[in-house]
C-alpha cells in the first residue's frame, strides 16, 4: 500500500527500494535501527565498523550473521568510553566473530577517545552522529548519511585502514571529510557562513575559536541543546546566550546530534564543540550535499521551533 511521509518521519513501506538509494539521510529516532541493519546486510565481501558505542543487540546480531555468510568484518571500538567498558559488552562484540581492535594509542589517553561513528564496505559508506545503541534508535536526535560516492568510500576506507594498522591516514582524506584531530577550522567555517545557521549539539564546550565564531554570528545563530545539560555546559550555554546567540533546549528527542546547517554549508558528524573533540579525538564528519543538506537543515529548524528558550 502506497503512503507518504514528511522528511525524517517513520518509514511507511516495507519495500526494499528505499534501502537501494545511493544517497540517503536517516534521522533518528524516527528511522530506528533499520538503516544500520540494512547497511550491514548489504555488505557482500567486507565491512569495516568504527564505533564509539556498540551495544544494540539487533546490530550485533546483524554483524554476526554477516560473518556467518562469509563477510570479512573488522571492528574498531573505543576501549574506555565511560571510564572502562564492561567486560560483558566486549564479550558480546567478540561473539559476532568479527576481528576486533582498539584505537591507536594516540587516541587512548585520558579524555581522548576514538569517538567516530561510521561503517564502510567495498561500495558504500554510512556515517553520522549515531552510536549503535538502543537509546540512539528510540530516544536520541541523530543523523546518519549513506552514500556510494566512490571518493568518499575510498577516503573512509583509507582512514579505517590507517587506524587499524596504527598509522597516519595522510592529509588527502581532509579533502573529503571533516577529520579530528584538526577539525576546528571546518566547523568555524560552517558557523561563519552567510545567513542564519541552525546548530544542534550534545555539548557546548569552551573551544575558543568555536565560541568566537558563535559570538560573531550573534542572533543569526540558533543553537538547539538537550534539556538536560551538565552544569558546565549549561554555564557555557548561558554565556553564549548573553552574547546574543539564540539558544533553546529540546526536551524530546534528546539532542545527541552534531549539526551546523546553513543555506550554503551543512556539516554533520561525530565532533562535539569541545577542544578535545576537535583537536585530540578521532572524529569523522562530512559536509552534506544539496537536497540532503536541506533535509537536515529542515529538521533542525523544526526542532528549533519545538524547543524551549
Domain count of the chain?
2
Mean of the per-residue pLDDT values for the chain?
Answer: 91
Average pLDDT score over residue span 165-172: 92
Cα distance between residue 116 and residue 28, in whole Å: 17
Q: Are residues 139 and 35 in the same domain?
A: yes
Question: What proportion of the chain, given as a percentage, has pLDDT over 70?
Answer: 92
- Is the pLDDT reported for residue 52 higher than 70? yes
Residue ending a domain, among 148, 173, 198, is 173
- Residue 11 confidence (pLDDT): 34
3-state secondary structure of 106: helix
In degrees and rounded to multiples of 5, residue 52 shows phi and psi of -75, -50
Closest C-alpha among 254, 250, 225, 251 to residue 238: 225
pLDDT in tens, 202-243: 998 899 999 999 999 999 999 999 999 999 999 999 999 999
- Please indicate, yes or no, if residue 3 is contained in any of the structural domains: no
- Please indicate, yes or no, if residue 235 is contained in any of the structural domains: yes
pLDDT in tens, 84-141: 677 889 999 999 999 999 999 888 777 889 999 999 998 999 999 999 999 999 999 9
- Is the pLDDT reported for residue 244 higher than 50? yes
- Please indicate, yes or no, if residue 179 is contained in any of the structural domains: no
Lowest mean pLDDT, pick from 22-26, 41-45, 149-153: 22-26
Q: Is 160 left (phi over 0), alpha (psi -120 to 50) or beta?
A: alpha
3-state secondary structure of 141: strand
- State the CATH number of the domain containing residue 208: 3.30.870.10
In the block, residue with C-alpha cell 575559536: 209
Q: Are residues 197 and 277 in the same domain?
A: yes
Q: Are residues 244 and 291 in the same domain?
A: yes
- Residue 21 confidence (pLDDT): 57
Q: Are residues 109 and 249 in the same domain?
A: no
- Please indicate, yes or no, if residue 4 is contained in any of the structural domains: no
Identify the domain containing residue 82 by its residue range.
Answer: 20-173
Residue 22: pLDDT band by 50, 70, 90 thresholds?
low
Q: Are residues 254 and 231 in the same domain?
A: yes
- Please indicate, yes or no, if residue 276 is contained in any of the structural domains: yes
Q: Are residues 190 and 143 in the same domain?
A: no
- Is the pLDDT reported for residue 1 higher than 70? no
Q: Are residues 193 and 126 in the same domain?
A: no
Greater pLDDT, 20 or 21: 21
CA 181 to chain centre: 16
Lowest mean pLDDT, pick from 80-84, 201-205, 293-297: 80-84
- Please indicate, yes or no, if residue 234 is contained in any of the structural domains: yes
Residues written for the chain: 309
Q: Are residues 101 and 142 in the same domain?
A: yes
- Please indicate, yes or no, if residue 14 is contained in any of the structural domains: no
Q: Are residues 161 and 24 in the same domain?
A: yes
How many CB atoms are located within 10 Å of the residue 279 CB? 16
Q: Are residues 32 and 146 in the same domain?
A: yes
Q: Are residues 82 and 54 in the same domain?
A: yes
Q: Do residues 258 and 275 make contact, with C-beta atoms less than 8 angstroms apart?
A: no
Closest C-alpha among 31, 28, 92 to residue 18: 31
Beta-strand runs (E) in 65-220: 72-77, 99-101, 118-121, 125-128, 140-147, 178-180, 197-201
Q: Are residues 51 and 190 in the same domain?
A: no
Amino acid at each position: 500500500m502506497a503512503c507518504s511521509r514528511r522528511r525524517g518521519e517513520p518509514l511507511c513501506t516495507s519495500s526494499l527500494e528505499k534501502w537501494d538509494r545511493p544517497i540517503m539521510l536517516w534521522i533518528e529516532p524516527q528511522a530506528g535501527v533499520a538503516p544500520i541493519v540494512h547497511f550491514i546486510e548489504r555488505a557482500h565481501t567486507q565491512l569495516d565498523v568504527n564505533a564509539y558505542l556498540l551495544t544494540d543487540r539487533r546490530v550485533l546480531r546483524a554483524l554476526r550473521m554477516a560473518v556467518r555468510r562469509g563477510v570479512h568484518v573488522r571492528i574498531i571500538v573505543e576501549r574506555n568510553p565511560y571510564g572502562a567498558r564492561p567486560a560483558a559488552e566486549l564479550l558480546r562484540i567478540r561473539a559476532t566473530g568479527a576481528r576486533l581492535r582498539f584505537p591507536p594509542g594516540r587516541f587512548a589517553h585520558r579524555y581522548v577517545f576514538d569517538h567516530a561513528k561510521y561503517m564502510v564496505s567495498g561500495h558504500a559508506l554510512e556515517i553520522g552522529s549515531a552510536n549503535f545503541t538502543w537509546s540512539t534508535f528510540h530516544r536520541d536526535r541523530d543523523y546518519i548519511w549513506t552514500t556510494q560516492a566512490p571518493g568518499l568510500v575510498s577516503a573512509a576506507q583509507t582512514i579505517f585502514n590507517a587506524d587499524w594498522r596504527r598509522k597516519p591516514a595522510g592529509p588527502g582524506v581532509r579533502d573529503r571529510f571533516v577529520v579530528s584531530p584538526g577539525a576546528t577550522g571546518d566547523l568555524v567555517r560552517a558557523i561563519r557562513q552567510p545567513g542564519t545557521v541552525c546548530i544542534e549539539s550534545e555539548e557546548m564546550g569552551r573551544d575558543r575559536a568555536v565560541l568566537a565564531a558563535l559570538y560573531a554570528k550573534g542572533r543569526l545563530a540558533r543553537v538547539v541543546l538537550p534539556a538536560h545539560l551538565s552544569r558546565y555546559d549549561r554555564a557555557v550555554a548561558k554565556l553564549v546566550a548573553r552574547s546574543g546567540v539564540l539558544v533553546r533546549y529540546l526536551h524530546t528527542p534528546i539532542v545527541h546530534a552534531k549539526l551546523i546547517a546553513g543555506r550554503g554549508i551543512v556539516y554533520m558528524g561525530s565532533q562535539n564543540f569541545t577542544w578535545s573533540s576537535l583537536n585530540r579525538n578521532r572524529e569523522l564528519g562530512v559536509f552534506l550535499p544539496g537536497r540532503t543538506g536541506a533535509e537536515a537543515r529542515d529538521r533542525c529548524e523544526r526542532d528549533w521551533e519545538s524547543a524551549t528558550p
